[in-house]
Chains A and B, each alone.
Chain A
Amino acid sequence: DTGVSQDPRHKITKRGQNVTFRCDPISEHNRLYWYRQTLGQGPEFLTYFQNEAQLEKSRLLSDRFSAERPKGSFSTLEIQRTEQGDSAMYLCASSLDPGRTLNGYTFGSGTRLTVV
Chain B
Amino acid sequence: GESVGLHLPTLSVQEGDNSIINCAYSNSASDYFIWYKQESGKGPQFIIDIRSNMDKRQGQRVTVLLNKTVKHLSLQIAATQPGDSAVYFCAESFSGGYNKLIFGAGTRLAVHP
Stretch from A13-21, A48-56, A73-81 contacting the other chain: A48-56
Q: How far is the CA of A17 from the CA of B99 in the complex (A)?
A: 32
B82 on interface, CB distance cutoff 8 Å: no
Beyond A31-B99, A43-B44, A110-B42, list 6 extra A-B contacts (CB 8 Å): A33-B99, A35-B101, A56-B97, A56-B100, A109-B41, A109-B42
Determine the chain B residues whose CB is within 8 A of the CB of A41 once the complex forms. 103, 105-106
Number of B interface residues in the complex (CB < 8 A)? 26
Tier of interface size on chain A: 20 to 34
Tell me if B103 and A4 are in contact (CB < 8 A): no
Q: How far is the CA of A33 from the CA of B36 in the complex (A)?
A: 16
Contact of A91 among B32, B43, B91, B99 (CB under 8 A): B43
B residues in contact (CB < 8 Å) with A: 4, 32, 34, 36, 41-46, 49, 51, 89, 91, 93, 95, 97-106
Q: How far is the CA of A4 from the CA of B43 in the complex (A)?
A: 10
A residues in contact (CB < 8 Å) with B: 4, 31, 33, 35, 40-45, 48, 50, 55-56, 91, 93, 95, 99-103, 105-110
